[in-house]
């Protein structure tokens, strides 16, 4: 029987050996100062050997002073390049392409004076400082500098984090952008930051270096970004020559609502959103959202909803998922329990220990994290 997930494809100059990718997932394995730890290296070494064609490293922040919101990787100074280069090599030695996601927390930053498009607080946090045009330009420069560091560190591509309610979404969403200048109001204006950001990064990196985008299709809030507008934004990113769109949905204010938690327990629960975006663009589209079995991955791709699948919690539960799925061994996959253990730990800024792991694996990472 033919298998679409075994098929090769290209993302710009990157030749992917199959249709399986690792979607970025925060682990809290990094050192407290934002540097790469042995636990993080081991985790991504395993991901590189998993059989996935491309591994996207969890978000690295472009401004450690105004964007800090937890135990994140940093990519805002040159002295982080050495550790990041080790991280890129650990993935590529396993046979996967290495990509790193870059990000700015905006109003989610866990600092006393966060920056945001508009002075709208995140939860019960401080009211952020409204960005001036000069500050917006400075932030774009920081993203560009971070992307150049990623290239110097040996990553094969860079992914802009434009989802989960972080800074690009804060500009794009009518819920969090109340500006009256050239960056606010109409959709054309709310798209401006993201499009300027992507173009600046692409210009700096050159035409032969892929720039992908973690794409927010729907905030899942009645006053937030919805598909009618996100489809238009996807088209504009496509016109710029974006390398791929990795489609997701939900922000911190919506993803823990009862109906969304129930939705997230269903297999392929975001595939329809990926399909809606794919219908609007020529760039490859990655679908995510509890793609728990090879059969589920096959359905997403063969139906035309996406070109690739992105695995996060599923791959955390079983780092051999791609090898087993590609070999037709679905029954041997160590399934994600969807128990919420990893999400609960992440929200507390604590390193992930997956409930689906056996004792030996849990002990291995417990020991690595003790020595971090």
Q: What is the mean pLDDT of residues 36-64?
A: 97
Is the pLDDT score of 174 beyond 70?
yes
306, 288 Cβ separation under 8 angstroms: no
Look at residue 1 in the predicted model and tell me its pLDDT: 44
The residues near 269 (Cβ < 8 Å, ≥ 6 apart) are 263, 289, 290
Q: Which three-class secondary structure state does DSSP give residue 208?
A: coil
d(CA 177, CA 184): 6
Is the pLDDT score of 354 beyond 90?
yes
Phi, psi for residue 56 in degrees, rounded to 5 = -105, 115
DSSP letters for 190-202 = HTHHHHHHHHHHH
Is the pLDDT score of 238 beyond 50?
yes
What secondary structure letter does DSSP report for 292?
-
pTM of the model: 0.97
pLDDT band at 372 (very low <50, low <70, confident <90, very high): low
In percent, how much of the chain has pLDDT > 70? 99
Look at residue 347 in the predicted model and tell me its pLDDT: 83
Active-site residue, 166 included: yes
Q: Please state, in angstroms and as integers, the Cα–Cα distance from residue 282 to each residue in 239, 244, 306, 339, following that order.
A: 9, 9, 11, 36
Phi, psi for residue 216 in degrees, rounded to 5 = -90, 110
Instruction: Kindly name the residue from 29, 44, 166, 365 that is annotated as catalytic.
Output: 166
Q: What is the pLDDT of residues 262-306, one digit of tens each?
A: 999 999 999 999 999 999 999 999 999 999 999 999 999 999 999
Residue with tokens 């020559």: 241
Q: What is the pLDDT of residues 298-333, one digit of tens each?
A: 999 999 999 999 999 999 999 999 999 999 888 889
Give 308's Cβ-side CA count (13 Å radius): 29
Look at residue 348 in the predicted model and tell me its pLDDT: 85
């Amino acid at each position: 029987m033919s298998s679409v997930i075994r098929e090769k494809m290209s993302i710009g100059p990157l030749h992917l050996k199959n249709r399986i990718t690792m979607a970025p997932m925060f682990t809290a394995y990094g050192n407290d100062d934002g540097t790469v730890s042995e636990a993080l290296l081991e985790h991504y070494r395993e991901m590189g050997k998993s059989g996935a064609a491309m591994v996207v490293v969890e978000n690295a922040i472009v401004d450690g002073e105004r964007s800090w919101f937890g135990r994140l990787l940093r990519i805002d100074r040159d002295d982080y390049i050495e550790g990041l280069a080790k991280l890129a090599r650990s993935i590529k030695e396993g046979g996967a392409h290495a990509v790193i996601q870059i990000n700015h927390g905006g109003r989610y930053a866990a600092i006393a004076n966060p920056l945001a498009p508009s002075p709208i607080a995140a939860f019960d946090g401080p009211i952020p400082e409204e960005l001036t045009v000069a500050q917006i330009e400075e932030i774009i420069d920081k993203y560009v500098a971070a992307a150049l560091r990623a290239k110097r560190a040996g990553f094969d591509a860079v992914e802009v984090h434009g989802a989960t309610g972080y800074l690009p979404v804060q500009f794009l969403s009518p819920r969090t952008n109340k500006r009256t200048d050239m960056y606010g109001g109409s959709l054309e204006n709310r798209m401006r930051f993201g499009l300027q950001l992507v173009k600046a990064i692409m210009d700096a990196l050159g035409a032969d270096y892929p720039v992908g985008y973690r794409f927010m299709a729907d905030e899942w809030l009645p006053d937030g970004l919805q598909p009618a507008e996100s489809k238009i934004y996807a088209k504009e990113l496509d016109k710029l020559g974006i390398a791929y769109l990795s489609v997701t949905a939900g922000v911190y204010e919506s993803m823990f609502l009862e109906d969304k938690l129930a939705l997230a327990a269903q297999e392929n629960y975001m595939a329809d959103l990926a399909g809606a975006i794919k219908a609007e663009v020529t760039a490859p589209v990655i679908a995510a959202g509890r793609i728990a079995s090879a059969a589920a991955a096959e359905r997403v791709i063969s139906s035309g909803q996406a070109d690739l699948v992105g695995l996060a919690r599923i791959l955390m539960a079983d780092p051999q998922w791609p090898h087993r799925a590609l070999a037709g061994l679905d029954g041997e996959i160590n399934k994600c329990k969807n128990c919420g253990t990893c999400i609960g730990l992440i929200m507390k800024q604590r390193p992930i220990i997956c409930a689906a792991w056996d004792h030996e694996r849990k002990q291995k990472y417990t020991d690595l994290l003790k020595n971090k």
